[in-house]
């Protein structure tokens, strides 16, 4: 079996560390794993397969000899180093939003559009975490009908804001229990015992950047340029795993029983739908694994071709790290 030289750009962040974990779990065929980060992290060590690896500072010449680079850094870092990665002859699988809507860059969810990988020119984009979780949940429906529109509300965990978001919730919960002052920095308001109905800045007609991703990215991934999406994204007091409420309207009517069968058979999904026995997707059950749990499937009461669906998925894994590594696995084939 051929072994590959793999780099992680942004290796010290939450997604970068999760990429290391997933690479090890999935036994990715690696000869060298090169960990790249900022100058302040250079020289520190992280463990992979029981061996310490010294972190290197990311620079234009740090990608020489690599076959695949997994991006876990911010947009500006991805844009800065993408030319050097391509010049080095590596394929850049990038988790930032820098290239997602570039017409020359495939945007891939392996369960949905794996064939798009073939069209890459050195860069493949990893979609937004909420987009991945939502589309994996409903992709099976397309075997019965085209999707015309989605109305979505997301309930997004604090880990979506990185390690700082997780720590802030922990600190605030501790401060509440001890009667101390609440301090907020990772989020604009106190997140403990609260929900914040804004993620991202205003982009279009009162919608935020996070809310527009489900439409813009969903159209590209599903090859449905006319699909309409209206989305509200909310940050909630949950450590890990995003939840999404979806009203899906299809061209042809799909019954609840049809939908259950289609979703149960869809790759990447786990049907958990038994209201009478209190079986439905929840963040605690979906954290630290890669399936999207789907349940609460019921006919919409406002539209005769509508289905209401509730789904949950680990946004650090399937919504980021695992999806990127699944893309890298497609490259091996």
First to last CA, the chain: 12
Under 8 Å CB-to-CB from 204, ≥6 apart: which residues?
A: 212
Distance separating alpha carbons of residues 130 and 149, to the nearest angstrom? 16
Q: Which of 129, 233, 269, 312 is catalytic?
A: 129
193 classed as catalytic: no
Cα distances (Å, whole numbers) of residue 136 to 21, 127, 275: 22, 12, 22
121 classed as catalytic: no
Closest listed residue to residue 307, CA positions, set 153, 141, 154, 156: 141
Q: Which of 242, 269, 311, 312 is catalytic?
A: 242
Closest listed residue to residue 296, CA positions, set 285, 312, 283, 284: 312
List, in sequence order, every beta strand (DSSP E) within 86-126: 91-94, 123-125
Length of the chain (residues): 333
- SS3 at position 307: strand
Which residues are tagged catalytic?
Answer: 129, 242
């Amino acid at each position: 079996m051929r072994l590959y030289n793999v780099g992680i750009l942004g290796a010290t962040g939450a997604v970068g560390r999760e990429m290391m974990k997933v690479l090890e779990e999935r036994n990715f065929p690696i000869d060298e794993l090169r960990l790249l980060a900022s100058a302040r992290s250079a020289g520190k060590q992280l463990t992979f397969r029981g061996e310490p690896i010294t972190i290197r500072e990311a620079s234009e010449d740090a990608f020489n000899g690599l076959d695949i680079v997994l991006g876990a850094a911010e947009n500006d870092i991805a844009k800065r180093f993408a030319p050097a990665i391509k010049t080095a002859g590596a394929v850049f699988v990038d988790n930032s939003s820098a290239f997602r809507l570039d017409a020359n860059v495939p945007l891939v969810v392996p369960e949905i559009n794996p064939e798009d990988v073939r069209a890459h020119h050195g860069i493949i984009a990893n979609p937004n975490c909420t987009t991945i979780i939502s589309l994996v949940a409903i992709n099976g429906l397309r075997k019965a009908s085209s999707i015309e529109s989605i109305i979505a509300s997301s309930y997004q965990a604090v880990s979506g804001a990185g390690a700082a978001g997780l720590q802030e919730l922990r600190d605030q919960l501790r401060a509440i229990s001890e009667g101390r002052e609440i301090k907020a920095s990772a989020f604009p308001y106190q997140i403990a015992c609260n929900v914040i109905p804004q993620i991202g800045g205003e982009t279009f007609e009162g919608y935020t950047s996070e809310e527009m991703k489900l439409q813009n990215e969903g159209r590209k991934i599903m090859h449905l340029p006319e699909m309409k999406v209206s989305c509200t994204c909310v940050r909630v007091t949950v450590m890990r795993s995003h939840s999404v409420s979806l009203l899906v309207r299809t061209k042809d009517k799909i019954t609840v029983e049809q939908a259950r069968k289609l979703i149960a058979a869809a790759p990447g999904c786990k049907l958990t739908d038994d209201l009478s026995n209190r079986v439905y997707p929840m963040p605690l059950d979906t954290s630290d694994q890669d399936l999207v749990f789907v349940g609460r499937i019921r006919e919409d009461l406002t539209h005769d071709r509508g289905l209401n669906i509730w789904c949950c998925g680990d946004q650090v894994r399937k919504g980021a790290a695992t999806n990127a590594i699944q893309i890298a696995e497609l490259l091996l084939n």
